[in-house]
Amino acid sequence: MRAVVCRSYGAPEDLVVDELADPVPGPGQVVVRIHAAAVNFPDVLLIAGRYQVKIPVPFVPGSELAGEVVAVGAGAPFRPGQRVAATTPTGAFAEQALLDAASVTPIPDGADFASAAAFGVTYRTAYHALRSIAVVRQGDWVVVLGAAGGVGLAAVDLAVAMGARVLAAASSPDKLALCRQRGAAAVVDYATEDLKSRIRELTGDGARVVLDPVGGPYAEPALRALARGGTFVTLGYAAGTIPSIPLNLVLLKGITVRGMEIRTFMADRPDDAARDMAELAQLFAAGTVRPYIGARFPLAEAAAALRHVADRKAIGKVVIDVTA
């Protein structure tokens, strides 16, 4: 099978497409022929050796996939030909993947492979942050930074579905137009507008939640714009800089600052994680939420797909069409 291989830590352009042996399932495992894989910002960090967890090289990057089961190990509750999606630390940027059956879920009728591949990581991250960390209520003003990116646009979709009022903050008119189309009640272009003052103006000083997957220079002004007693959730640092927050801001306004990382959240709060994932699966199966796919690349151009995400050019999700 063809697979994208990270042989040494570095840039997306250092990846190679190689021929690897087809995997064989053991007990409780399945082999999936991959039709689509989705790209996430942590993939860029993993191949650079800069993620919280360091994967030994060589490895096949990619954490989200969808396809068809082609082989089943003893005890795995799937059958050949079944359409499935999965999240996995690595291995998605390939023609086939060997997976533990517990990480695999059937794709509901009405969902295509690309949507199923693009749904897992970003929508779970956003839903855990909204549902369990920030405890968003109907009518709350929710500010989403990096609102046109993978996690950001997922947060816009889900907050709207939860009945919140979304203020989407992004860096260009086309990104903000998409956020409007997805249901955002207000938008801020933080490349040209003062983020703090515009949040206060547009929400009437009523922003109760900020979701921040970006970091950098946007975190502090968004935190300053929170209403008294609001919640700031940090999810990542796509801007490339981890911000330093003056703690007196937290003290004076009674703000709660929370962090959420999907891997540790699921380990630390398994009951909340199970509830959230069941609710999210229902939303996806009903067609209430579907990811917006802004760019597609063939497997041979996986490096270009990763560069697209690394350079913050992505709008919504970036998908690799493995069978193209």
pLDDT in tens, 223-257: 999 999 999 999 998 888 999 999 999 999 999 99
| Cα–Cα distance, 50 to 297 (Å, whole number) | 24
pLDDT given at position 173: 94
What is the rounded average pLDDT of the residues 58-86? Answer: 97
Tens-digit pLDDT profile for residues 76-114? 999 999 999 999 999 999 999 999 999 999 999 999 999
pLDDT band at residue 324 using 50, 70 and 90 as cut-offs: confident
pLDDT given at position 262: 86
Minimum mean pLDDT among 9-23, 31-45, 130-144, 262-276: which range? Answer: 262-276
Checking if the pLDDT of 119 tops 90, the result is yes
pLDDT band at residue 263 using 50, 70 and 90 as cut-offs: confident
Largest CA distance in the chain: 60
pLDDT given at position 51: 87
Residues 107 and 175: beta-carbon distance below 8 Å = no
Which residues touch 251 (CB under 8 Å, ≥6 apart)?
none
Beta strand ranges found along 165-300 (DSSP E): 165-170, 186-189, 207-212, 231-234, 256-259, 293-298
Q: How far is CA 12 from CA 17, 29, 310, 315, in A?
A: 12, 30, 9, 19
What is the rounded average pLDDT of the residues 131-148? Answer: 97
- Beta strand pairing call for 141-145 and 83-87: unpaired
What is the rounded average pLDDT of the residues 143-157? Answer: 96
| Cα–Cα distance, 140 to 162 (Å, whole number) | 10
3-state DSSP assignment of residue 30: strand
Task: Please return the burial class of 271, using the count of CB atoms within 10 Å of its CB with bins 0-12, 13-18 and 19+.
Answer: exposed
Tens-digit pLDDT profile for residues 21-42? 999 999 999 999 999 999 999 9
pLDDT given at position 239: 81
**Mean pLDDT, rounded, of the chain:** 95
Dihedral sign, Cα of residue 97, residue 103, residue 104, residue 105 = negative
| Cα–Cα distance, 141 to 239 (Å, whole number) | 24
Percent of the chain residues past pLDDT 70, beyond the cut? 100
pLDDT given at position 207: 97
pLDDT given at position 240: 82
